[in-house]
């Protein structure tokens, strides 16, 4: 939906994009994945309708500039400018498609929903290896006080700084959320009304 | 300042266009900041699922989740923190019990400012790790023309160190975990539910207190 009709990201353009991120290809590929994750998050916080597709579109527009010979020294800053336009375009597109959108139904989380989420979560947890399962459960278990103490104990046991532990837990939670959402969509508990398939 | 409040303002569309542009650029350039925002989001959703947010924060997060079709994350948050037999340590249980016991103490007037040049002050105790939906809420009586001091009390195991204390728009650098830790509320603070955040400087620890300021 958001792909440019006259220009697509081919292999050559993608290589130019990677080269703009880092001199070495492997490092560039890692940087691309990290930047894509940050881009998707920003587009979600900006309340766009399809963060993943828009992130890809942002990279396509960036690559097009690079192929055209433009020198871009600060890629995140340049992407930020692209995102600004994409957000405006997305708002305009939604206003054309759904003029009355904006009244979001209030959502009470019922006991049944929690039970279904719990069942889905158990299935998704079973797909993680034991260490990952222990890490994510330990990290998000309990209330505020218990969490603080559990996390210190976890970090010490794993020999990690608290920030490193947090980042591992974040990645695992994102993985679990994607998995749980997929399960809930499949069993009909959640409508498949988001276009993005991954991070939400 | 980029903090949990900035996250809330960002997702609530409360930033000016220039603030939004600046924050977006930082979020794209800085992995650590992006992760912090994602972490605050998770913690906010968890707090929402357990009724621990102020009405304004609950409304902001709820609207954001509805607008982006992410309401299922609330159910997931509730499911994720649901106790599992193997994952609950006796240590955590003991801490939770300790917090509850401390909370059963009544709000106590501890100290009155003797400086006649300054308005009189009332001090109240707040304890960390407090609320679940329907739980005990610290109530702080509002007295006209008097400065209110919150004396923050800690469990023994609470970390001691430099931290940032945030109450609404007030941000103070402080020594958290110290025996005599008092923060002053502004006289004009509105009645209603308020939140105090203690954010330790390594960015990983955060304590949240809530209290109801009552007339």
Is B159:B200 a contact under the CB 8 Å cutoff?
Answer: yes
Return the minimum-mean-pLDDT range out of A65-69, A171-175, B69-73, B168-172.
B168-172
Residue A112 in contact with partner chain B when CB distance is under 8 A: no
pLDDT-derived band at A198 (thresholds 50, 70, 90) equals very low
Contact residues, A window 3-22, toward B, CB-based 8 Å cutoff? none
Residues of A in contact with B88 (CB under 8 A): 141-142
**A190 φ, ψ (degrees, to nearest 5):** -130, 130
The winner for highest mean pLDDT among A134-138, A191-195, B198-202 is: A134-138
* pLDDT digit string, tens, across residues B148-157: 666 665 554 4
Residue A39 has pLDDT above 90, yes or no: yes
Return the minimum-mean-pLDDT range out of A17-26, A85-94, B95-104.
B95-104
Residue B18 in contact with partner chain A when CB distance is under 8 A: no
Looking at residues B63-88, what average pLDDT do you find?
A: 77
Contact residues, A window 21-50, toward B, CB-based 8 Å cutoff? 34-35, 37-39, 41-42, 44-47
Residue B207 in contact with partner chain A when CB distance is under 8 A: yes
Interface test with A, best of B47, B80, B82, B196 (most A CBs within 10 A): B80
CA-to-CA distance for A126 and A64, rounded, in angstroms? 43
Residues of B in contact with A44 (CB under 8 A): 68, 70
Strand order from edge to edge, sheet including B147-152:
B121-126, B147-152, B182-185
* pLDDT digit string, tens, across residues A130-182: 899 999 998 988 777 778 888 988 999 999 999 999 999 999 999 999 898 88
CB within 8 Å: B155 and A145 = yes
Looking at residues B169-192, what average pLDDT do you find?
A: 70
* CA dist A174 → A17, A93, B46, B75 (Å): 26, 28, 14, 15
Residues of A in contact with B50 (CB under 8 A): 143
Interface test with B, best of A74, A135, A138, A149 (most B CBs within 10 A): A149
Looking at residues B90-107, what average pLDDT do you find?
A: 34
Among partner residues A106, A117, A163, which is closest to B76 by beta-carbon distance? A117
Residue B82 has pLDDT above 60, yes or no: yes
Is B213:B189 a contact under the CB 8 Å cutoff?
Answer: yes
Beta strand pairing call for B161-167 and B192-200: antiparallel
Secondary structure element (H or E) that encloses residue A42, with its range: helix A25-45
């Amino acid at each position: 939906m958001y792909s440019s009709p006259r220009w697509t990201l081919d292999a050559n353009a993608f290589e130019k994009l990677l080269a703009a991120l880092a001199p070495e290809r492997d490092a560039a590929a890692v940087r691309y994945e990290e930047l894509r994750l940050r881009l998707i998050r920003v587009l979600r916080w900006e309340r766009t309708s399809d963060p993943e597709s828009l992130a890809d579109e942002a990279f396509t527009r960036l690559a097009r500039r690079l192929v055209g010979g433009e020198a871009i020294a600060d890629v995140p800053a340049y992407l930020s400018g692209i995102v600004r336009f994409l957000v405006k375009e997305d708002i305009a597109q939604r206003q054309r498609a759904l003029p009355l959108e904006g009244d979001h139904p209030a959502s009470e989380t019922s006991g049944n929903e929690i039970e279904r989420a719990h069942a889905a979560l158990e299935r998704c947890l079973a797909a993680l290896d034991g260490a990952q399962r222990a890490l994510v459960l330990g990290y998000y278990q309990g209330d505020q006080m218990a969490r603080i103490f559990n996390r210190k104990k976890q970090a010490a046991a794993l020999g990690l700084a608290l920030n490193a532990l947090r980042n591992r837990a974040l990645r695992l939670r994102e993985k679990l959320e994607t998995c749980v959402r997929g399960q809930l969509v499949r069993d009909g508990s959640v409508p498949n009304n988001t276009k993005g398939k991954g991070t939400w | 300042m980029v903090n949990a409040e900035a996250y809330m303002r960002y997702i609530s569309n409360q930033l000016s266009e220039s603030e939004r542009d600046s924050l977006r650029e930082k979020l794209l350039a800085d992995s650590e900041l992006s992760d912090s925002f994602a972490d605050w989001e998770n913690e906010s959703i968890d707090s929402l699922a357990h009724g621990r947010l102020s009405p304004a924060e609950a409304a902001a997060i709820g609207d954001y989740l509805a607008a982006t079709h992410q309401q299922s994350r609330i159910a997931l948050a509730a499911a994720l923190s649901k106790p599992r037999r193997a994952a609950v340590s006796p240590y955590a249980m003991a801490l939770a019990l300790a917090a509850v016991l401390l909370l059963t103490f009544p709000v106590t007037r501890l100290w009155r400012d003797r400086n006649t040049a300054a308005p009189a002050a009332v001090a109240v105790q707040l304890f960390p790790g407090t609320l679940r939906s329907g739980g005990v809420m610290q109530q702080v009586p509002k007295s006209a023309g008097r400065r209110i001091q919150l004396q923050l009390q800690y469990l023994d195991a609470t970390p001691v160190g430099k931290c940032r204390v945030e109450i609404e728009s007030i941000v103070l650098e402080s020594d958290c975990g110290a025996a005599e830790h008092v923060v002053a509320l502004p006289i004009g603070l509105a009645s209603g539910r308020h939140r105090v955040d203690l954010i330790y400087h390594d960015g990983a620890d955060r304590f949240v207190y809530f209290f109801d300021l009552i007339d």
